[in-house]
Amino acid sequence: MPGFKSDQPSRLSRRNFIIGTGTTAAAFALYAGEIARHEVDVVDRPISIKDLPSAFHGYRIVQISDIHLDEYTEPYFFEHIVNKVNSLAPDLVLLTGDFVTHGSITFIAGRHAAHRAAEIITKLTAPLRYAVLGNHDVAVDPAMVVHALSSRGTPVLVNQNVPIERNGARIWLCGLDDPGTSSPNLDLAVPTKPDGPVILMGHEPDYADTVMAHPRGPLVDLMLSGHSHGGQIRLPFLGPLVLPPMGMKYPEGHYRFNQMQLYVNRGIGTVGLPFRLNCPPEITVLTLNPA
Protein backbone atom coordinates (compact mmCIF):
# COMPACT_ATOMS: atom_id res chain seq x y z
CA MET A 1 0.00 0.00 0.00
CA PRO A 2 1.37 3.43 -0.88
CA GLY A 3 0.66 4.87 2.54
CA PHE A 4 2.53 2.04 4.26
CA LYS A 5 5.57 2.35 2.03
CA SER A 6 5.94 6.11 2.55
CA ASP A 7 5.50 5.94 6.32
CA GLN A 8 8.15 3.32 7.13
CA PRO A 9 11.26 5.32 6.04
CA SER A 10 9.99 8.29 8.03
CA ARG A 11 9.88 6.19 11.22
CA LEU A 12 13.35 4.88 10.57
CA SER A 13 14.60 8.39 9.92
CA ARG A 14 13.21 9.69 13.20
CA ARG A 15 14.67 6.77 15.09
CA ASN A 16 18.07 7.26 13.49
CA PHE A 17 17.91 10.96 14.27
CA ILE A 18 17.16 10.27 17.92
CA ILE A 19 19.92 7.68 18.13
CA GLY A 20 22.37 10.03 16.42
CA THR A 21 21.46 12.93 18.68
CA GLY A 22 21.82 10.78 21.78
CA THR A 23 25.18 9.48 20.62
CA THR A 24 26.42 13.02 19.94
CA ALA A 25 25.26 14.20 23.37
CA ALA A 26 26.94 11.24 25.05
CA ALA A 27 30.16 11.88 23.16
CA PHE A 28 30.09 15.56 24.16
CA ALA A 29 29.47 14.68 27.81
CA LEU A 30 32.33 12.17 27.74
CA TYR A 31 34.76 14.61 26.12
CA ALA A 32 33.80 17.75 28.07
CA GLY A 33 33.28 15.97 31.37
CA GLU A 34 36.11 13.45 31.45
CA ILE A 35 38.74 14.52 28.92
CA ALA A 36 38.68 18.30 28.48
CA ARG A 37 37.96 18.86 32.18
CA HIS A 38 41.21 17.12 33.07
CA GLU A 39 43.52 18.50 30.35
CA VAL A 40 45.60 20.97 32.35
CA ASP A 41 47.09 24.00 30.62
CA VAL A 42 50.30 25.39 32.13
CA VAL A 43 50.41 29.05 31.10
CA ASP A 44 53.75 30.89 31.27
CA ARG A 45 53.20 34.62 31.72
CA PRO A 46 56.09 37.08 32.12
CA ILE A 47 55.06 40.06 34.25
CA SER A 48 57.06 43.27 33.91
CA ILE A 49 56.96 45.42 37.05
CA LYS A 50 58.35 48.90 37.46
CA ASP A 51 61.06 49.32 40.12
CA LEU A 52 61.20 45.59 40.77
CA PRO A 53 64.12 44.93 43.15
CA SER A 54 66.92 42.94 41.57
CA ALA A 55 66.47 40.22 44.19
CA PHE A 56 63.09 39.46 42.62
CA HIS A 57 64.18 39.41 38.97
CA GLY A 58 63.01 36.04 37.66
CA TYR A 59 60.94 35.36 40.79
CA ARG A 60 58.42 32.64 39.92
CA ILE A 61 54.87 32.69 41.27
CA VAL A 62 52.42 29.90 40.51
CA GLN A 63 48.73 30.79 40.74
CA ILE A 64 45.99 28.20 41.05
CA SER A 65 42.35 29.01 41.66
CA ASP A 66 38.78 27.70 41.96
CA ILE A 67 39.53 24.19 43.12
CA HIS A 68 35.90 23.35 44.00
CA LEU A 69 36.86 20.10 45.65
CA ASP A 70 34.39 17.22 45.54
CA GLU A 71 31.80 19.05 43.46
CA TYR A 72 33.18 18.44 40.97
CA THR A 73 36.96 18.26 41.33
CA GLU A 74 38.10 14.83 42.42
CA PRO A 75 40.81 14.64 45.11
CA TYR A 76 43.03 12.58 42.80
CA PHE A 77 42.85 15.33 40.16
CA PHE A 78 43.75 18.04 42.67
CA GLU A 79 46.68 15.88 43.83
CA HIS A 80 47.76 15.70 40.19
CA ILE A 81 47.63 19.51 40.03
CA VAL A 82 49.76 19.81 43.17
CA ASN A 83 52.34 17.38 41.76
CA LYS A 84 52.46 19.39 38.54
CA VAL A 85 52.96 22.62 40.49
CA ASN A 86 55.78 21.02 42.46
CA SER A 87 57.50 20.01 39.23
CA LEU A 88 57.56 23.70 38.23
CA ALA A 89 59.60 24.58 41.37
CA PRO A 90 58.02 28.00 42.03
CA ASP A 91 59.22 30.42 44.70
CA LEU A 92 55.66 31.17 45.82
CA VAL A 93 52.23 29.60 45.30
CA LEU A 94 49.11 31.77 45.47
CA LEU A 95 45.62 30.27 45.73
CA THR A 96 42.91 32.73 44.75
CA GLY A 97 39.79 31.23 46.31
CA ASP A 98 36.89 28.79 46.00
CA PHE A 99 38.35 25.71 47.63
CA VAL A 100 34.85 24.24 48.02
CA THR A 101 31.49 24.52 46.26
CA HIS A 102 28.27 25.91 47.66
CA GLY A 103 25.80 23.63 45.93
CA SER A 104 23.58 20.62 46.04
CA ILE A 105 25.80 18.43 48.24
CA THR A 106 27.23 21.17 50.45
CA PHE A 107 25.27 20.07 53.49
CA ILE A 108 27.03 16.70 53.27
CA ALA A 109 30.46 17.45 51.84
CA GLY A 110 31.33 21.14 52.36
CA ARG A 111 33.21 20.76 55.64
CA HIS A 112 34.95 17.57 54.56
CA ALA A 113 35.96 19.11 51.23
CA ALA A 114 37.58 22.13 52.88
CA HIS A 115 39.72 19.98 55.15
CA ARG A 116 40.58 17.55 52.36
CA ALA A 117 41.63 20.42 50.09
CA ALA A 118 43.76 21.88 52.87
CA GLU A 119 45.45 18.52 53.40
CA ILE A 120 46.31 18.16 49.73
CA ILE A 121 47.66 21.73 49.66
CA THR A 122 50.18 20.78 52.38
CA LYS A 123 51.92 18.65 49.74
CA LEU A 124 53.03 21.80 47.89
CA THR A 125 56.80 22.07 48.19
CA ALA A 126 57.23 25.78 47.35
CA PRO A 127 58.93 27.80 50.12
CA LEU A 128 55.84 29.99 50.56
CA ARG A 129 52.11 29.76 49.91
CA TYR A 130 49.18 32.07 50.66
CA ALA A 131 45.45 32.06 49.95
CA VAL A 132 42.34 34.23 49.83
CA LEU A 133 38.69 33.24 50.07
CA GLY A 134 36.22 33.02 47.18
CA ASN A 135 32.48 33.48 47.10
CA HIS A 136 31.77 29.75 47.49
CA ASP A 137 34.02 29.56 50.55
CA VAL A 138 32.09 32.41 52.13
CA ALA A 139 28.74 30.84 51.24
CA VAL A 140 29.73 27.53 52.85
CA ASP A 141 31.47 28.83 56.00
CA PRO A 142 34.35 31.33 55.80
CA ALA A 143 35.63 30.74 59.33
CA MET A 144 35.71 27.00 58.75
CA VAL A 145 37.58 27.33 55.44
CA VAL A 146 40.09 29.76 56.96
CA HIS A 147 40.68 27.41 59.89
CA ALA A 148 41.05 24.35 57.63
CA LEU A 149 43.74 26.11 55.59
CA SER A 150 45.58 28.10 58.24
CA SER A 151 45.76 25.20 60.71
CA ARG A 152 47.58 23.23 58.01
CA GLY A 153 50.12 25.90 57.17
CA THR A 154 48.38 27.91 54.45
CA PRO A 155 47.87 31.50 55.65
CA VAL A 156 44.67 33.15 54.42
CA LEU A 157 44.85 36.91 53.88
CA VAL A 158 41.55 38.60 54.70
CA ASN A 159 42.07 42.34 54.20
CA GLN A 160 45.68 41.83 55.21
CA ASN A 161 49.17 42.15 53.78
CA VAL A 162 52.54 40.54 54.36
CA PRO A 163 56.02 41.42 53.10
CA ILE A 164 57.80 38.80 51.01
CA GLU A 165 61.49 39.31 51.65
CA ARG A 166 64.47 38.20 49.61
CA ASN A 167 68.12 39.23 49.97
CA GLY A 168 67.22 42.40 51.83
CA ALA A 169 64.50 43.48 49.39
CA ARG A 170 60.75 42.98 49.53
CA ILE A 171 57.49 42.88 47.67
CA TRP A 172 54.13 43.24 49.38
CA LEU A 173 51.50 40.51 49.08
CA CYS A 174 47.96 41.67 49.84
CA GLY A 175 44.71 39.75 50.12
CA LEU A 176 41.12 40.97 50.07
CA ASP A 177 38.06 39.58 51.75
CA ASP A 178 35.89 38.16 48.97
CA PRO A 179 34.73 41.17 46.90
CA GLY A 180 31.53 39.52 45.72
CA THR A 181 30.02 38.44 49.04
CA SER A 182 31.90 40.09 51.90
CA SER A 183 33.56 43.36 52.89
CA PRO A 184 36.79 43.96 50.97
CA ASN A 185 38.82 46.80 52.47
CA LEU A 186 41.64 48.17 50.36
CA ASP A 187 42.67 50.54 53.16
CA LEU A 188 43.49 47.50 55.29
CA ALA A 189 44.74 45.21 52.53
CA VAL A 190 47.18 47.59 50.81
CA PRO A 191 49.91 49.22 52.93
CA THR A 192 49.99 53.01 53.05
CA LYS A 193 53.61 53.41 51.93
CA PRO A 194 54.87 50.10 50.56
CA ASP A 195 58.64 49.92 50.13
CA GLY A 196 58.35 47.56 47.19
CA PRO A 197 55.94 46.39 44.46
CA VAL A 198 52.44 45.37 45.52
CA ILE A 199 50.63 42.18 44.45
CA LEU A 200 46.94 42.02 45.36
CA MET A 201 44.82 38.87 45.49
CA GLY A 202 41.06 39.30 45.05
CA HIS A 203 38.80 36.51 43.90
CA GLU A 204 36.46 38.41 41.54
CA PRO A 205 38.31 40.02 38.61
CA ASP A 206 35.80 42.77 37.84
CA TYR A 207 36.65 44.28 41.22
CA ALA A 208 39.75 45.58 39.45
CA ASP A 209 37.72 48.63 38.41
CA THR A 210 37.10 49.43 42.08
CA VAL A 211 40.79 48.96 42.86
CA MET A 212 41.84 51.38 40.14
CA ALA A 213 39.38 54.02 41.34
CA HIS A 214 40.49 53.75 44.98
CA PRO A 215 43.17 56.05 46.48
CA ARG A 216 45.34 52.99 47.14
CA GLY A 217 44.84 51.73 43.59
CA PRO A 218 47.94 53.45 42.14
CA LEU A 219 50.06 51.46 44.61
CA VAL A 220 48.97 48.10 43.17
CA ASP A 221 51.24 46.67 40.46
CA LEU A 222 49.51 43.33 39.87
CA MET A 223 46.11 41.93 40.81
CA LEU A 224 45.44 38.19 40.67
CA SER A 225 41.92 36.78 40.39
CA GLY A 226 39.94 33.70 39.39
CA HIS A 227 36.17 33.18 39.77
CA SER A 228 35.04 33.19 36.12
CA HIS A 229 36.51 29.78 35.16
CA GLY A 230 37.01 31.43 31.77
CA GLY A 231 33.38 30.56 31.11
CA GLN A 232 34.04 26.77 31.30
CA ILE A 233 32.37 26.18 27.91
CA ARG A 234 33.59 28.43 25.10
CA LEU A 235 32.09 28.03 21.64
CA PRO A 236 33.93 29.04 18.46
CA PHE A 237 33.05 32.59 17.39
CA LEU A 238 30.67 32.96 20.37
CA GLY A 239 33.01 32.74 23.35
CA PRO A 240 31.85 31.73 26.82
CA LEU A 241 28.25 30.59 27.21
CA VAL A 242 27.89 31.78 30.81
CA LEU A 243 29.95 34.09 33.01
CA PRO A 244 29.26 34.81 36.69
CA PRO A 245 28.57 38.23 38.21
CA MET A 246 31.82 40.15 38.77
CA GLY A 247 33.53 37.89 36.26
CA MET A 248 32.00 39.18 33.03
CA LYS A 249 34.23 42.09 32.08
CA TYR A 250 37.59 40.39 32.63
CA PRO A 251 36.89 36.67 32.17
CA GLU A 252 40.40 35.28 31.66
CA GLY A 253 44.00 36.13 30.90
CA HIS A 254 46.19 39.21 31.14
CA TYR A 255 44.95 42.80 31.21
CA ARG A 256 46.95 46.03 31.38
CA PHE A 257 45.69 49.28 32.82
CA ASN A 258 47.41 52.63 33.43
CA GLN A 259 49.11 51.71 36.67
CA MET A 260 48.09 48.09 37.24
CA GLN A 261 48.04 44.70 35.59
CA LEU A 262 45.40 42.02 36.15
CA TYR A 263 45.72 38.31 35.59
CA VAL A 264 42.61 36.10 35.66
CA ASN A 265 43.19 32.38 36.09
CA ARG A 266 40.63 29.98 34.52
CA GLY A 267 40.66 27.79 37.61
CA ILE A 268 40.94 24.08 38.19
CA GLY A 269 37.36 23.05 38.91
CA THR A 270 33.86 23.56 37.57
CA VAL A 271 30.45 24.57 38.90
CA GLY A 272 26.96 23.99 37.60
CA LEU A 273 27.97 21.11 35.35
CA PRO A 274 31.27 19.19 35.37
CA PHE A 275 32.09 20.26 31.81
CA ARG A 276 34.83 22.25 30.09
CA LEU A 277 35.16 22.94 26.37
CA ASN A 278 37.84 25.09 24.70
CA CYS A 279 38.59 26.33 28.22
CA PRO A 280 41.03 23.99 29.98
CA PRO A 281 41.86 24.13 33.68
CA GLU A 282 44.86 26.37 34.27
CA ILE A 283 48.07 26.54 36.24
CA THR A 284 49.68 29.95 35.74
CA VAL A 285 53.41 30.56 36.09
CA LEU A 286 54.01 34.28 36.59
CA THR A 287 57.65 35.27 36.22
CA LEU A 288 58.51 38.73 37.54
CA ASN A 289 60.78 40.88 35.40
CA PRO A 290 61.84 44.55 35.55
CA ALA A 291 59.85 46.91 33.37
State pLDDT tens for residues 188-210: 999 999 999 999 999 999 999 99
Q: Which residues of 86-125 are buried (b: 16+ CB within 10 A; e: fewer)?
A: eeeebbbbbbbbbbbbbbeebeebbbebbbbbbebbeebe
Q: Give the per-residue pLDDT at 13.
A: 58
| Radius of gyration for the chain, computed over Cα atoms and rounded to the nearest angstrom | 22
Return the ∠ at Cα 216 (arms to 213 and 222), rounded to 5°: 85
Q: What is the dihedral of CA 99, 191, 53, 202, to 10 degrees?
A: 20
Q: Give the per-residue pLDDT at 32.
A: 46
Say if CB 131 and CB 157 are below 8 A apart.
yes
pLDDT greater at residue 211 or residue 70: 211
Q: Tens digits of per-residue pLDDT, 113-165?
A: 999 999 999 999 999 999 999 999 999 999 999 999 999 999 999 999 999 99
At 5, is the pLDDT very low, low, confident or very high (cuts 50, 70, 90)?
Answer: very low
* pTM of the predicted model as reported, rounded to 2 decimal places: 0.89
Closest CA to 179 of 131, 145, 138: 138
Q: Give the per-residue pLDDT at 105.
A: 61
Q: Give the per-residue pLDDT at 17.
A: 37
pLDDT greater at residue 109 or residue 123: 123
Q: Give the per-residue pLDDT at 82.
A: 98
Quick one: what percent of the chain has pLDDT higher than 90?
81
Whether the per-residue pLDDT at 265 is higher than 60: the answer is: yes
Return the ∠ at Cα 121 (arms to 270 and 76), rounded to 5°: 55
Instruction: State how far the Cα of 76 lies from the Cα of 259, in Å rounded to an integer.
Output: 40
At 111, is the pLDDT very low, low, confident or very high (cuts 50, 70, 90)?
Answer: confident
Please measure the distance between the N-terminal and C-terminal CA atoms of the chain and give it in whole angstroms.
83
Quick one: what percent of the chain has pLDDT higher than 70?
86
Averaged pLDDT for residues 212-236: 97
**Count of C-beta atoms within a 10 Å radius of residue 215:** 10
Q: Give the per-residue pLDDT at 104.
A: 54
Whether the per-residue pLDDT at 1 is higher than 70: the answer is: no
Q: Which residues pair with 69 in a beta bridge?
A: 73
Report residue 171 CA to chain centroid gap: 22
Element (DSSP H or E) covering residue 120: helix 106-121
Reported residue count of the chain is 291
Phi and psi at 34, nearest 5°, equal -115, -30
Q: Give the per-residue pLDDT at 237.
A: 86
Q: Give the per-residue pLDDT at 274.
A: 94
Instruction: State how far the Cα of 116 lies from the Cα of 149, in Å rounded to an integer.
Output: 10
Q: Give the per-residue pLDDT at 258.
A: 87
